[in-house]
Amino acid sequence: MTNDADRLATPVIAGNWKMNHGPAAAAAFMRALADAHPPRFDRTVILFPPAISLPALARARAGRSDIALGVQNVHWQADGAFTGETAAPMAVEAGAGFAIVGHSERRHIFGERDDEVGRRAAAALEAGLRPIICIGETLDERRAGRLEAVLERQLAAALDAIAHRDADFLIAYEPVWAIGTGVNATPDDAANAHAYVRRLLDARAGRTAGVPILYGGSVKPDNAADLLGAPGVDGVLVGGASLDPRSFAAIANARARED
């Protein structure tokens, strides 16, 4: 079980760059972010660059212990003939502390199965990375009333794979229909989905208490405060808006809006 000293400060503000920003651009981003976002330790800020840019970003981050780094995916094997994959121990060596697993683009574009997502999460934990396990429904699944069934299936597969490991992970609820579309779930949508995920986690009480649940899907500076203020939302997983340092700094400094 995660020690209290290891618990993440919330909200968690995570920026997923996807296939953007090579090494030079990543270093320039970090310099600009450092100017726009003074150090603060009342929240957790994580950047997920392409793996090839991680070392450059780690060097540029020098002196900013308040900004953590991660990779966008890891393989379940520590080494081997897996062209194009990143091993979790290699990610740690390069400076990562976190790993995204099961992102909707990995599931729906690259065909990753629920059990593979679980194996990746287990490998991340084994190597000392904190995985952010992504779950979420498509628009067709939502319209068919299958939101809860999809979330339960995806989450159960991941939790079953890491059942023998410490509960040092995060969950990101990302409705597929709201990713990169400019259409975001309302704070109520996010709150309702997060409440259901929390109930699923509570059903495994003892291992999953306190696991942060993030919302991901068209998060921007103008909606971040509302989303962070929604009940049960412990942070945000930011896509396109994380590519500009000023935009990401605005989200990283957002205060949860309360009614």
Active site residues: 103, 174
User: Quick one: which of 92, 89, 85 has its CA closest to 70?
Assistant: 92
What ranges in the chain are assigned the alpha helix state H? 23-36, 54-60, 88-94, 104-108, 114-127, 139-143, 147-161, 187-202, 221-228, 245-252
Are the CB atoms for 247 and 220 separated by under 8 Å? Answer: yes
Are the CB atoms for 106 and 146 separated by under 8 Å? Answer: no
What is the rounded distance in angstroms from the CA atom of residue 26 to the CA atom of residue 53? 6
- Report residue 245 as tokens: 């340092």
User: Quick one: which of 25, 10, 39 has its CA closest to 244?
Assistant: 25
Identify the bridge partners of residue 215 per DSSP, sorted by sequence position: 173, 236
